[in-house]
Structure 1
Amino acid sequence: MTSTTDAAPATAPDAAAPSPAALGTVSLPTADGWREIELNAPRAWVEHPQPYSSRVAFAAAHVVADPHGDNVPGAPAAIDWEATLAFRRNLFRYGLGVAEAMDTAQRNMGLDWPAIRQLISRSAAQAKEFGARIASGAGTDHLLDAAVAAAAGTSATLADVQNAYLEQVAFVEGTGSQVIVMASRHLARAATGPDDYLATYDRILSQVSQPVVLHWLGEAFDPQLAGYWGSTDVAAATDTFLELVRAHAGKVDGVKVSLLDASHEVALRRALPAGVRLYTGDDFNYPELIRGDDQGHSDALLGAFAAIAPAASAALAALDDGDLDRYDAEMAPTLELSRHIFEAPTFYYKVGIAFTSWLTGQQNGFQMVGGLQSARSLPHLARVFELLNGARLLPDPELAAHRLGLVAATLGATR
């Protein structure tokens, strides 16, 4: 196994710090050659291990692949557990809860059920040790792959889907983690309309022991979830979703919405029953949604926060202080980075999260479960580096520049 340290970049108390001193230049590979940029000195980020008083915030964390494992497409996931858990401890240092075993961790993209079980068990135990908040995904992905089964004419029935959900919910609850009820590819294939969704979630919510988070994941993140809640019309799907939440408001802590549509999220947030949170999953518009307005705000459950934890922490601390100008200033440098990491095809955003973890020294190699590291281009990765550098989120800029150079050379990009 590889080893990592628990050393974390440490955030200046305000965003009005002097402009960073340049450390020289670095060459970025682009689609048509090379470009020089100045390498910025890192900012001294201040840790904030306590949760925030004004918002609930989760970061959806990735998994670190074992470099000695057979992490090729279709193979069982081999995970570097030490580095994976250390990454989560770093999130705790910045007051963030962990959303575990979500799509950021490659659910349905290489992370198999045996690895999911280990991941949730280990992470929940660690969260308990550190007194940190954790919520973990429960779905149906231990069933035969939905697309494969459909092609073979053996698709899961609604009863199969419901039983699969209940099995995973019981497992997550047994670890002491809060449950996030994930969207199911199997349900998307088995359901014939809104009533099938309502019946399935009614059975789940009638049996959970503690309030859960419901996750509505849009097709930008997973094309196999098109038409979720029984309709491709978002307004109609939203009506079904709200019908469910209103019927089970006491069993729903909140809803996580990942449709990348800020106006839809605001309207949904205002329509939710009192006491039900909206956890934004909008990695394109999160600063304004978390900031909110005079009618409310969104909390956060974001893959982007795994890449920008120190800056997110500084922004949330500013909100706790009631300093909206500082909040805006802290969030501003992160948004272009997040939008780049999550650009289409959005479901490959996980590559940018893992690459960021490597550049920031939180893992010793750039490899992913299922060989997914190959899903983004060198110019895309170079732009991730550039935006991290601009936001002063590289704790060791020289190391990060060296690692970018290693990738470029490995891929044959030489000057």
Structure 2
Amino acid sequence: MALTLSLPVSKDAPLAPYTLRGIVPARPSKVSFDRIAYSAAHVVADPLAARDPWVHTVVDWDATIAYRQHLWSLGLGVAEAMDTAQRGMGLDWPTSLELIRRSLDAARDVPGALVASGCGTDHLPPEDATSVDDVIRAYEEQMAAIEKLGGRIILMASRALARVARSPDDYIRVYGRLLEQAREPVILHWLGDMFDPALAGYWGTENLDQATQTALEIISAHASKVDGIKISLLDAQREIAMRRRLPTHGGNDGKGVRMYTGDDFNYAQLIAGDGDGDHPRHGHSDALLGIFDAIAPVASAALGELAQGNTERFHALMAPTVPLSRHIFQAPTRFYKTGIVFMAWLNGYQDHFTMVGAQQGARSVLHLAELFRLADQAGLLEQPELAVRRMRTLLALHGIE
């Protein structure tokens, strides 16, 4: 029996009936992937904590870790304590470290589970950073804490470094110092200012060609300590051009530095690749994506098809997820986390639509109504009856009945 509900279309338009298409969610494959695929994972807030959510961070640890176990069960790795987990938008460093500890502990019970953890400088307020040395010390403090837990490092972009650096040389100095002392090869992270305006001019310049060159110089000088680089610039051609220039030696397995796509607009084509380049890793990107949190079952099934050489099937599964992703990540892009958590609520992975920092209010009801439609069209409503009930509840809370 078809499910129908009334959804708002615009401020001035009346409600319009929407009938779910009834697409059966893709079944994840048991095939091993031929790409490394990390999902940057969200955190589940505790809605019953007697704390002000704008001031205090309170996490529902059981639900948060259960979601990571769900991702591992689909063959995806977890990129822990990243911006998808609201790092810098409600998730502070002490809570991030506890999240990393709990995630690493849980992963030990899951054969083959991948975890890489965000290491930054967010405990140092940018306005309190007076020198590059302050930034280095802040990075070193977090790196030491994560490595003490046995964690692998994702070296996150730093707001403090963007504030105090005066030239590309300052970035070369900071990253060189950190990479020299890293125990294992790390993943670098270039987060564009569409995700975080405080990171404008990263690598010491507003010129993206020059910034790319600086990042490549750092990677080439320390290739044995760089597993890969994730770039989140929403520019497929720039990613491809940089990918083809990555060192063919070094990396986590000594076979070359990887490109991890963080492009939530163009991920399908970048992961599938073009086969061009002088080195196997220059022909495609691996993945470290926030959108994989929301599309995990379809992403898993698609990656399984790709591993078997079924490229057309890969694209057939992925293509309907792209409009959903572009909607979730539309400007202001930094509010994409609201859509990610909304999807988890619709699909029954958490009992409420409450976020750390009360960020559930960062998107409009019109935005969420369109997200619902696109999720259905992508075959991503895993429990349609539940999703409809919860969507109706949300509308009622906004005075729409």
The bucket for the TM-score relative to the shorter chain is over 0.9
1:19 match: none
User: Does residue 110 in structure 1 map to residue 84 in structure 2?
Assistant: no
Q: Is the 8 A contact 1:64 1:84 kept in 2?
A: yes
**Residue range with higher mean Cα deviation, 300-309 or 68-77:** 68-77
1:69 match: 49
1:396 match: 383
Q: Following superposition of structure 1 onto structure 2, how do residues 171-210 of structure 1 map, counting pairs within 5 Å?
A: 171-210=145-184
Once the two structures are superposed, residues 246-305 of structure 1 have per-residue CA deviations (whole angstroms, 9 ceiling, x without a partner) of 000000000000000000000000010010000000000000000101220000000000
Change over 3 Å in CA distance of 1:45–1:210 after alignment to 2: same
Deviation at 1:392? Answer: 1.7
1:308 match: 295
1:4 match: none
Unpaired runs of 5+ in structure 2?
249-255, 277-282
Deviation at 1:384? Answer: 1.1
1:11 match: none
Residue correspondences, number: 385
Aligned equivalents of 1:412 and 1:328: distance in 2? 39
2:212 match: 238
Deviation at 1:329? Answer: 0.4
Q: Counterpart of 2:230 in structure 1: which amino acid? A: K
Deviation at 1:176? Answer: 2.0
Aligned equivalents of 2:108 and 2:193: distance in 1? 34
Q: TM-score, normalised by structure 1?
A: 0.90
Superposition CA RMSD, Å:
1.3
Q: Following superposition of structure 1 onto structure 2, how do residues 288-367 of structure 1 map, counting pairs within 5 Å?
A: 288-295=269-276, 296-367=283-354
Q: TM-score, normalised by structure 2?
A: 0.93
Q: Is the 8 A contact 1:25 1:37 kept in 2?
A: yes
Aligned equivalents of 2:191 and 2:355: distance in 1? 22
Aligned equivalents of 1:292 and 1:70: distance in 2? 49
User: Does residue 216 in structure 1 map to residue 190 in structure 2?
Assistant: yes
Q: Tell me which of 135, 140, 151 is aligned to 2:121.
A: 140
Aligned equivalents of 1:291 and 1:396: distance in 2? 29
Q: Counterpart of 1:277 in structure 2: which amino acid? A: R
- Look up the SS of the partner of 2:20 in the other structure: strand
Deviation at 1:170? Answer: 1.4
Aligned equivalents of 1:50 and 1:289: distance in 2? 21
Aligned equivalents of 1:210 and 1:161: distance in 2? 21
1:40 match: 21
Deviation at 1:38? Answer: 1.3
1:94 match: 74
Deviation at 1:173? Answer: 1.6
Aligned equivalents of 1:70 and 1:161: distance in 2? 34
2:2 match: 23
Once the two structures are superposed, residues 45-101 of structure 1 have per-residue CA deviations (whole angstroms, 9 ceiling, x without a partner) of 43446641x100000000000011256454121001111111111111111000000
- Look up the SS of the partner of 2:116 in the other structure: strand
Q: Is the 8 A contact 1:183 1:217 kept in 2?
A: yes
Q: Counterpart of 2:162 in structure 1: which amino acid? A: A
Q: Is the 8 A contact 2:25 2:380 kept in 1?
A: no
Deviation at 1:129? Answer: 1.4
Deviation at 1:41? Answer: 2.9
Q: Where does structure 1 differ by over 3 angstroms across 4 or more consecutive aligned residues?
A: 47-51, 70-74
Unpaired runs of 5+ in structure 1?
1-21
Change over 3 Å in CA distance of 1:169–1:243 after alignment to 2: same
Deviation at 1:113? Answer: 1.3
Aligned equivalents of 1:361 and 1:178: distance in 2? 30
Aligned equivalents of 1:236 and 1:44: distance in 2? 43
- Look up the SS of the partner of 2:38 in the other structure: strand
Aligned equivalents of 2:25 and 2:166: distance in 1? 54
2:370 match: 383
Q: Percent identity?
A: 53
Aligned equivalents of 1:37 and 1:122: distance in 2? 41
